[in-house]
Structure formats: structure tokens, C-alpha cells
Amino acid sequence: MSPPSGRLAAPQRPPSADGGPADPGSGAGGGPSAAAAGSGAALASRLRAVHRAVGELRRGTPVLLRAPEGTLCLAAAETVGACGLGELAAAAAAPPLLLLAPSRAAAVLHRPIPQCGGGADAAAREPAGVVALRLPPALLAPEALRGLADPTAEALLPPEAGAPELVPAVPALSGAALALAKLARLLPALLAAPAAEGSAARLDLLSVPADWALGYPATAATSLVRVAEAAVPLEDAPDARIVAFRAADGGIEHLAIVVGRPEDRTPEAPAPLVRVHSECFTGDLLGSLRCDCGPQLRGAIRRMAAEGAGVLLYLAQEGRGIGLVNKLRAYRLQDTGLDTLDANRALGYAADERNFLVAATMLRALGLGRVRLLTNNPDKLAGLAACGIEVAGREAHRFEANGVNDRYLATKARRFGHLLA
């Protein structure tokens, strides 16, 4: 699992072992902060617990989420099967509700939901909140649940099942529940019921505190350490090496492609050229025409080689942090007319789920506290600066539209505020 995301420009602070706040950006000279490093074992155990819970949800097994408000038993609508539904019923003290992002609930209920936002402004990019639905019995079945979770699988809903009903959700726990589903790169749609006394031990279910799930992205990001490094001469940059970083939970590694010796730049020289590039299997590897990632990747390496130095961070944040499977679903929705932003929201995800604390931690570990960023995305500039990296300048990184990605590029300019020059 890649260390996932929080909000773009507002990194969460990882909790310290004693529950107090740790500072992700204050490590002297780089790397995780002293507070985080000092409580490494405790942080690693938090990460491990969340990582295991994510694995259980992906397998269709229920997990328990604990908070002072109570304990919820959860199962992911996308993966739960008959066995998981049986376990959920055995662990629950009441029938389960379906938790959904407001944007997805609005589509299920065929009416607007107040928290949903709307329009083309920045606020509409980050819909907040969670909605709970009481389901008629015919919808409490694996196929129907997938149809409720996934707008590209709505055909799985039984024709005359009856309508779900909007009911109040416990905000803190429900938010953490959806965060856990997003960490699992599943659709943010979960069955949730108050847990019966003793159900964790009785049914051998994993149990995780809600604040550990919410703190996971920042905790994972600050725990990144270098684990391997080798020279990898590239066609476009013969003097390149790859440095691999791993978080304490053993999730998917993030990579730095280092061209030349950017860390040796003197303070008087221009800041080193850096690109923060989110993984795109389709564009980077296959040459998909739907996006501009492939040309941006190769183009960045070429520019660094021409300058003699630079760093490209290759972050395991596929699909702006929603994962490849959900990106494919988002593409299906775009083929029905939605743009890239609304497609994310229709799935229940925010427009951009990435967390640039990952990038800041890696840059510091590479000895780069000051950078010139190769990007058109103003959120990347703000995100890095918020994590304590000095962004000394921006270099535009635009490529001509190719006849397929025209609308995608136009949407990035119009709705994400991407800079055109």
C-alpha cells in the first residue's frame, strides 16, 4: 500500500507516541522529526495496525474502529461477500448502515445532499463529510452493495429493491471509516454498525483506533527512510541513480531519480531543479494519450540532464492518490461526460487525494531544503512550502495537447487552477 493521502496543502501532523503532536517539518538537516524518530517503535506499531486493517477490508473481512464515541464494526461495500456479511452481523449490536461520501450518496438517492457543495470553485474540489444510509434488506447483499458503492457498477442494483433512507451518522467515527477505505484504495463506501461487547475477541476481528487511521498518511510520510540506491544510467540522463524510500509499515516504495549531484549545489547557485511526479502506470509506462504524464516524465529527466543535475521524485500516488483501479473507474465516468475532477467526486473521492509530506521528507533526506519546482500545479508549490521546503522558483512544464488529452488539460487549467505559462 502506498502511503496515502491527506489534503494537499495542509499536511496532518503525526501524533507522537504519547498522543501529543509531533512536528513533521522540524528535523534538523532532514529526515523525520526528532519526536517522530524518538518514538519510532510506537509509530511503527500504529502504522502496522492500520496497514493490517486495510488488508482486512480489501479481503472483505470486517474490522473494528475505536474512538471515545464508541466502536464501529466496518466492512467495505466493494469487497464484502456473504462470509463477511455474516461476520458483520455476528459482531454488530444493530443492523449496519451504509456510509458514503455525500457526492456518491446524492447519486444513490437521486437528489442533492446539502454537504455536497457544487460548482467550479475550490471548495467544491474537497467535499467534506459522510452520509449514512439505512438500506432495505434487498440491498444488503454483496452484488447490490457493489452497485451502491460504484457508479460504474450501478447495473448490479436489483430493480425493485426499495429506496435507501438518509439517517444521521456519528461524524468522527464515520470520517475515520471512510479514510480507512481510501487508504485501502477501495471505494469510500462502508457498511458500519455499532460493535457488540466483546466481538473483537469473540470473532477474532482486527481493531484499530480511529485517530491512528486518520493520522496514517502523515505518520507514514515522516517515517520514510532510504533503503536502497544504485546507479541506473538512463537514455536521457546517463549520470542518473535511483534512491528507494520505504515507510515503516513496509508499504510500496517511493523512488527518487537523481541526476548528477544536485545536493552539491552551493547556496549561491540557482536552487536544484526538482519534479514531484505522481506515478501514472497508463501514461508513464504505456504511453496513454489520456494524460500528459509520459511526456512530463521524460521531459523532466531531459531538462535535468541538460542542466547537469536535478531530482525527480516518483511517488506511489497513482491517479492523484486514488489508485489505478479507481482511476480506471474515473476514466469510465469521463467517457460518459464527466471531467477528471467530477469523476473523482462521483466515486466519493476528493479531486486530489495526494499528500506532499512524502515529497518533503524525501527531499530533506536527499539534502535538498531549497528547490526550483518543475510544475504547472500551484497546489504542489503550496504543499511543499507548507511542509517546510523552500520553493525558490517554478519552471513551467507544459506539453502540447495530443488530440486525446485536450479536455483533460483544459480541465486542469480551468478547475484545478493549473498555470498556463
Ligand X SMILES: Nc1nc2c(ncn2[C@@H]2O[C@H](COP(=O)(O)OP(=O)(O)OP(=O)(O)O)[C@@H](O)[C@H]2O)c(=O)[nH]1
Question: Which member of 142, 283, 323, 383 binds Zn ion (CB under 5 A)?
Answer: 283
* Residue 69 CA from chain centroid, whole number: 26
Whether 352 is a known active-site residue: answer yes
| Beta strands at 370-374 and 390-395: parallel, antiparallel or unpaired | parallel
Nearest to 327 by CA among 152, 158, 203: 152
Q: Which residue has the cell 486514488?
A: 322
Q: Binding partner of residue 104 among Zn ion, ligand X, none, CB under 5 to 8 Å per kind?
A: none
Q: Which residue has the cell 505518520?
A: 219
Window of 74-82, 196-204, 249-257, 290-298 that interacts with Zn ion by CB under 5 A: 290-298
Does the annotation flag 318 for ligand binding?
Answer: yes
Binding of residue 51 to ligand X (CB under 6 A): no
Does the annotation flag 253 for ligand binding?
Answer: no
- What backbone torsions phi and psi does residue 54 show, to the nearest 5 degrees? -60, -45
Nearest to 388 by CA among 108, 30, 19, 86: 30
Pick the catalytic residue from 249, 284, 352, 379: 352
- Could you say which residues in the range 382-421 bind ligand X, by CB under 6 A? 397, 412, 418
Q: Binding partner of residue 380 among ligand X, Zn ion, none, CB under 5 to 8 Å per kind?
A: ligand X
270-283 burial string, b = 16+ CB within 10 Å, else e? Answer: ebbbbbbbbbbebb
Pick the catalytic residue from 7, 46, 290, 354: 354
- Could you say which residues in the range 293-352 bind ligand X, by CB under 6 A? 293, 296, 317-320, 322, 327, 330, 340, 344
Q: Minimum distance between the CB of residue 283 and Zn ion, rounded to whole angstroms?
A: 3
The radius of gyration of the chain from alpha carbons, rounded to an integer in Å, stands at: 22
Does the annotation flag 319 for ligand binding?
Answer: yes
Nearest to 350 by CA among 124, 159, 142: 124
Window of 104-112, 189-197, 266-274, 371-379 that interacts with ligand X by CB under 6 A: 371-379
DSSP per-residue string spanning 327-372: HHHHHHHHTTT--HHHHHHHTT--S----THHHHHHHHHTT-SEEE
Window of 46-54, 57-65, 289-297, 385-393 that interacts with Zn ion by CB under 5 A: 289-297
Task: State the Cα–Cα distance between residues 43 and 176, nearest whole angstrom.
Answer: 18
Task: State the Cα–Cα distance between residues 275 and 256, nearest whole angstrom.
Answer: 10
Binding of residue 279 to ligand X (CB under 6 A): yes
Contacts with Zn ion by CB under 5 A: the residue count is 4
Does the annotation flag 411 for ligand binding?
Answer: no
Whether 204 is a known active-site residue: answer no
Contacts with ligand X by CB under 6 A: the residue count is 23
Does the annotation flag 296 for ligand binding?
Answer: yes
Q: Which is nearer to Zn ion, 297 or 389 (CB)?
A: 297
Instruction: Classify 57 as helix, strand or coil.
Output: helix
Binding residues vs ligand X (CB under 6 A): 277-280, 291, 293, 296, 317-320, 322, 327, 330, 340, 344, 375-377, 380, 397, 412, 418
Residues with catalytic roles = 352, 354
Pick out the residues of the known binding site: 275-280, 291, 293, 296, 318-320, 340, 375, 380
Pick out the residues of the known binding site for GTP: 275-279, 296, 318-320, 340, 375, 380
